[in-house]
Amino acid sequence: MNIAPDLSFSEVALEQPARLRIGVPRLLAALTALTLIGVGFGLYMALGFAKADAKQGEIQRIFYIHMPAFIGAFMAFAATTFGGFMYLRTRKAKWDALALAGVEVGLALAAVNLVTGMIWAKPIWNAWWTWDPRLTLEAIMMLTYAAYLVLRASISHAETRRRFASVYGMLAILLVIMVIMISRIKPDTIHPTVFGPSAQQARGTFELDASAGMSAALGVNMLVWAILVPATLIWHRIRLNNLIERLNALKARLADR
Amino acid sequence: MPQNAEYLMLGLAAIAAIMSAYLISLAVRFANVRRAIVRAEQALER
């Protein structure tokens, strides 16, 4: 088996699949280890370090992953938008790989956000689900990004698939921005906002008490779930894409013989 | 203070389930592609 020597980040993650070695690059292995340690430390901060909210009790601790997971999904979907834009500019497949990775990772993190929100809602709103504008928009957002994967799977010509997916991925970010903005512009939402005033009908608001360790727990988990987790998973997913490209090239060579 | 730790446990279990499902799907795809690459390279060497 051909194993290339150590390559730089851009060479390994984004460049020629034919030169990609099969093993995990050292930098990615270190980032993965850091992320795992970060997830563990974040859990300690959320469950052990921060004090429980006086009004909501233990369930409020889910917030330390619920909100950062959404920001992580936003980062991943922003990577999709950036990847799509760069692909349309340069026509280099590596940017399309970034866009696809962003959608997969963003969907996983958005699912974490949505499901933890539902579980938090049950004791606080007395319902697993309500057709609140923000919840509904987030469900639509997830379906829109799931449709991105369906769209890709339905187009066999690689160049056409990449072009369509790039435009779709760039437009879909508008829904993510709407999910963020809707609680501030629709007065009938019951979903509270963390920063800035919540709507009058918001249920389940709480104060981020720095002296109770809440700000520190949020800060650590924000670093982990909004930056480390999406970055690590996106890098792994790009490597998978590069390996698939390499396999396709090998198959083409075999077919030519 | 309301006692609702069971919902917190349910939330943590859901997070673990979602992230594990994605990681397993990645690992399975990696394993399949790696195996196919090795086979294709061996076929080319022959």
In which band, very low, low, confident or very high, does the pLDDT at A199 lie, cut at 50, 70 and 90?
low
* Token pair recorded at residue A209: 């008490």
Give residue A12's pLDDT. 46
Share the mean pLDDT of chain A. 88
In which band, very low, low, confident or very high, does the pLDDT at A201 lie, cut at 50, 70 and 90?
low
A5 lies in a domain? no
Q: Given an 8 Å threshold on Cβ–Cβ distance, is B30 in contact with A247?
A: no
DSSP E strands: which ranges in B1-46?
A: none
**Chain B CA closest to residue A59:** B8
Give residue A2's pLDDT. 38
Percent of all residues in chain B with a pLDDT value above 90, rounded to a whole number: 85
A202 lies in a domain? no
HSE-CB for B38 with a 13 A CA cutoff: 8
Q: Using CA atoms, how far apart are residues A168 and A164, in angstroms rounded to an integer?
A: 6
| A117 Cβ contact partners less than 8 Å away, ≥ 6 residues apart | A66, A135
Closest to B37 (Cα-Cα) out of A14, A233, A242, A104: A242
Interface of A with B in 181-240 (CB under 8 A): 233, 236-237, 240
A92-100 mean pLDDT: 95
Q: What is the CATH number of the domain that holds A122?
A: 1.20.120
A104 vs A214 pLDDT, higher one: A104
A214-239 mean pLDDT: 96
Percent of all residues in chain A with a pLDDT value above 70, rounded to a whole number: 86
A187 lies in a domain? yes
* Residue A205: alpha-carbon gap to chain centroid: 25
pLDDT above 80 (res A196)? no
- Amino acid of residue A170: M
- Alpha helix (H) ranges present in chain A? 9, 26-44, 63-90, 93-125, 133-154, 158-185, 214-223, 229-256
Answer yes or no: are the C-beta atoms of A61 and A46 closer than 8 Å.
yes
Closest to A229 (Cα-Cα) out of A39, A14, A24, A25: A39
Give residue A198's pLDDT. 63
- Least confidently predicted of A35-49, A104-118, A137-151, A203-217: A203-217
Q: Using CA atoms, how far apart are residues A190 and A201, in angstroms rounded to an integer?
A: 5
Interface of A with B in 41-70 (CB under 8 A): 43, 52-59, 61-62, 65-66, 69
A133 lies in a domain? yes
Q: Using CA atoms, how far apart are residues B20 and A186, in angstroms rounded to an integer?
A: 35
In which band, very low, low, confident or very high, does the pLDDT at A222 lie, cut at 50, 70 and 90?
very high
Q: Using CA atoms, how far apart are residues A52 and B5, in angstroms rounded to an integer?
A: 10
| Burial of residue A160, with CB atoms counted within 10 A of its CB: 0-12 exposed, 13-18 middle, 19 or more buried | exposed
- Least confidently predicted of A10-14, A70-74, A189-193, A230-234: A10-14
Q: Using CA atoms, how far apart are residues B44 and A105, in angstroms rounded to an integer?
A: 34
Tell me the nearest-neighbour CA distance from B24 into chain A, angstroms. Answer: 12
Give residue A202's pLDDT. 63
Number of domains in chain A: 1
Q: Given an 8 Å threshold on Cβ–Cβ distance, is A119 in contact with B41?
A: no
A2 lies in a domain? no
pLDDT above 90 (res A90)? yes
A7 lies in a domain? no
Give residue A191's pLDDT. 84
For an interface test with A, give the residue of B12, B35, B38, B39 to mutate (most A CBs within 10 A).
B12
Does ipTM exceed 0.90?
Answer: yes
A1 lies in a domain? no
Q: Given an 8 Å threshold on Cβ–Cβ distance, is A2 in contact with B41?
A: yes
Q: Using CA atoms, how far apart are residues A53 and A37, in angstroms rounded to an integer?
A: 26
CA diameter of chain B:
71
Domain that holds residue A75: 26-196+208-256
Give residue A200's pLDDT. 63
Kindly write down the DSSP assignment for every residue of A9-72, as one continuous string: HIIIIIS-GGG--SSPPHHHHHHHHHHHHHHHHHHHIIIIISPPBTTTBGGGGGHHHHHHHHHH
pLDDT in tens, B13-36: 999 999 999 999 999 999 999 999
Nearest to A247 among B5, B18, B37 (CB): B37
Asked if A111 reaches chain B (Cβ–Cβ under 8 Å), the answer is yes
Q: What is the pTM of this model?
A: 0.88
Tell me the nearest-neighbour CA distance from A110 into chain B, angstroms. Answer: 10
Q: Given an 8 Å threshold on Cβ–Cβ distance, is A253 in contact with B29?
A: no
Give residue A4's pLDDT. 39
In which band, very low, low, confident or very high, does the pLDDT at A54 lie, cut at 50, 70 and 90?
confident
Q: Using CA atoms, how far apart are residues A40 and A59, in angstroms rounded to an integer?
A: 19
Q: Given an 8 Å threshold on Cβ–Cβ distance, is A57 in contact with B4?
A: yes
Tell me the nearest-neighbour CA distance from B37 into chain A, angstroms. Answer: 5
pLDDT above 80 (res A188)? no
A201 lies in a domain? no
Q: Using CA atoms, how far apart are residues A138 and A113, in angstroms rounded to an integer?
A: 9
pLDDT above 60 (res A8)? no
Q: Using CA atoms, how far apart are residues A156 and A60, in angstroms rounded to an integer?
A: 46
CA diameter of chain A:
71
